[in-house]
Structure 1
């Protein structure tokens, strides 16, 4: 694929997203960040352009993706707010259109795909999410279905419990089951950035862990 120069980031103001933004800046990428509360964002860089808006707003997403070669989303579900995952994917895919824009999105290990062979532990975690937060679970599953039916260059990165120590470690990857019980946010960021130039997991939903 052609060299990626400008990257749109959604969820960059969140805990995982800040690791992603910092690592992208460190690699010299130009960024466009979609932020609902830009006044709270503390990372400073000449490489950052801020778009004020919400991923649930199609116009804001369209403005964000203008001129971008990839879009990375670490946006999670907001407490007591409208469901995010599936509508965000719809808005992003509509903004991408037929352009060769790579779309990477973060999800939990509870998302199911047809080729999964989940262990008992992963299956229990999936069932807990399905039972405890059925609307959120179903919305994230719907997001996967939307991606799977699209022609976009997507990757859904599925993760277990996220730690925020900032310590880089070996990342294990599996197509069928979560290879571990936790992962550091710094390693999530690193893996997502690596996939900008690697087609191994294109149109797939790998599990990653430490």
Structure 2
């Protein structure tokens, strides 16, 4: 397949690009700084674009089979985070113009404001308040996607991320904001990338959000 990847220079994005190329996909990595891409492959095209501009993105979405987003935006303690909603508005507009219908996007566990009520004490009282500005904007983006009918989107929600390569572990999935009975609060970025790529060939989670973990 031909896939456009956003957030390709991030830690999860790097794993995703590498795995996609190894699986035989043709990858267009859309980045702000092409110099940060160290991967070299005959099936990899690296382009520069503004993720907040549909006009900037649409030329790179032409002839793609899917768009995969690993975009991430930093915590803001003083100003609201808006990167997720603003970039998604541009993505959707560009996908429509380029007639691309499949979108896979990564967010996180606990984006819904009340979903962490039963999480462990330190997560509930320390981590979630600290990253709430990011989670809130992710949730706004997820909510906006739920109103879109002409794009086959899937939201992938991993827990905390470790910079580890993919394994062969079985995935645990749940249509919600966390995975009940999951042991541990983190998963390897390589496994997140592996799950996201598996959705290119599956209709199991179309127009739904899925929380994931590994066994």
TM-score of Structure 1 vs Structure 2, range by shorter chain: 0.7 to 0.9
Q: Does 1:30 align with 2:31?
A: no
Aligned pair partner of 1:139 in 137, 140, 154: 137
CA 127–55 in structure 1, closer or farther in 2 if over 3 Å, else same: farther
TM-score (norm 2): 0.85
Question: In structure 1, what is the Cα distance between the partners aligned to 2:74 and 2:116?
Answer: 27
Please tell me whether the aligned partners of residues 58 and 91 of structure 1 are also in contact (alpha carbons under 8 angstroms). yes
Contact 1:130–1:138 under 8 Å retained in 2 = no
Q: What corresponds to 1:182 in structure 2?
A: 186
Q: Distance in 2 between matches of 1:11 and 1:119?
A: 30
How many residue pairs match? The answer is 204
Aligned equivalent of 2:60: 64
SS at match of 2:119: helix
CA distance in 1: counterparts of 2:84 and 2:125, whole angstroms: 19
Give unpaired runs (5+ residues) of structure 1. Answer: none
Q: TM-score, normalised by structure 1?
A: 0.86
RMSD: 2.5
Partner of 2:86: 87
Find out whether 1:207 has 2:207 as its counterpart.
no
Give the deviation of 1:142 after TM superposition.
1.1
Gaps of at least 5 residues in structure 2 are: none
SS in 2 for 1:208: strand
1:21-59 Cα shifts (integer Å, max 9, x gaps): 011001111111111111121000111112212211222
